[in-house]
Amino acid sequence: MAKGPTVRELKRQAKAARIRGYSRMRKAELLAALGSLVSFPKKTLADFRTEVIGGVTLILGDCRDVMPLLDPVDHVISDPPYEAHMHDAKRGEKIYGARQRIRIDGHANPPPVDFASIDGMREFVSREMVRLSKGWLLVFCTPEGVAPWRDAIEATGAKYKRACVWIKPDSAPQFNGQGPAMGAEMFCAAWCGRGHSSWNGGGRRNVFTHPCQPTDRTGEHPTEKPLSLMGELVSLFTQPDQVVLDPFAGSGSTLVASAKLGRRAIGIEVDPEYFDLSCRRVRVAYAQPDFFVPATSSKPKQVNMLEAL
């Protein structure tokens, strides 16, 4: 297989093409910006490790490399990395050479955040997620991240709807007593399809209450979303047999909820350990279909969503 262009070669072409901001772009962003000007072979989906489990297809790779290779799906639901300030807080401060515990209320301390923040790639992934969604785009973020996500989404031409609130009744208190604790998380909802938006929630409000430390939490991912929350969102914003894309699959909660609710899904994850965790959880979901809908088969049909679209 012929080698593709290096980042240095792409930046040289971007400079010659007078593309603004080229010096800060990653390879996938440079390839997308250059388009037909690139005279080098590009990556294909065959270059990435892929696992097909029932109606869920998982891809090991950076979503910035994979998303430009995909065709549109019905909806995109994802939990991208937090903003940089939250990543710093999640890592904890070093005290006497050791990491400070974040929780001291009896619950398991989450593993440290070990991936890059969304800062610097929000605009690119926003364009790709909007391009790929024929319906809803749901993106989790911190309260401070709502405005940057709204701006990035609206810049693509999608119809930003509103910020929604995930209430965490069992979140950790502010133990130092210097201010209120973080008891909620946000997600932005935008409509990327044609015509009027539609969902299964009627006129209900944009508030969702689910514990962040449920009994089915694996604890192997620092920002693992509860299955009850993701199940409610999948059931409200999608229809049976539709295809849901999660470009930041993480521990696979969106994929598991989709599988158990009769949706098909594509998940992209860059970390091999989290990728394997997602695969394990999806397999268990199909083996123990005990969520909201009854099982249709103990051995689900294997459907490669990259070929089915």
pLDDT tens for the chain, residues 1 to 309 = 446 678 888 888 888 777 888 888 888 888 878 775 655 556 799 999 999 999 999 999 999 999 999 999 999 999 999 876 554 555 444 333 344 444 444 545 555 555 567 878 999 999 999 999 999 999 999 999 999 999 999 999 999 999 999 999 999 888 888 899 999 999 999 999 999 999 999 999 999 999 998 888 887 888 899 999 999 999 999 999 999 999 999 999 999 999 999 999 999 999 999 999 999 999 999 988 654 444 444 455 677 767 776
- Which CATH number does the domain 45-308 belong to among 3.40.50.300, 2.40.10.340, 3.40.50.150, 3.20.20.70? 3.40.50.150
247, with CB counted inside 10 A (0-12, 13-18, 19+), is buried
Give the Cβ contact number of residue 124 at 10 Å: 20
Distance in angstroms (rounded) separating the CA atoms of residues 104 and 173: 9
Burial degree of 140 (CB within 10 A; 0-12, 13-18, 19+): buried
DSSP label of 235: H
Q: What CA–CA distances, in Å, run from 65 to 20, 61, 69, 75, 201?
A: 20, 7, 8, 19, 34
- Cα 204 to chain centroid distance, Å, stands at 24
pTM: 0.77
- Cα dihedral sign for 171, 258, 69, 196? negative
Contact 186, 138 (CB under 8 A): no
Domain boundaries, the chain: 1-42, 45-308
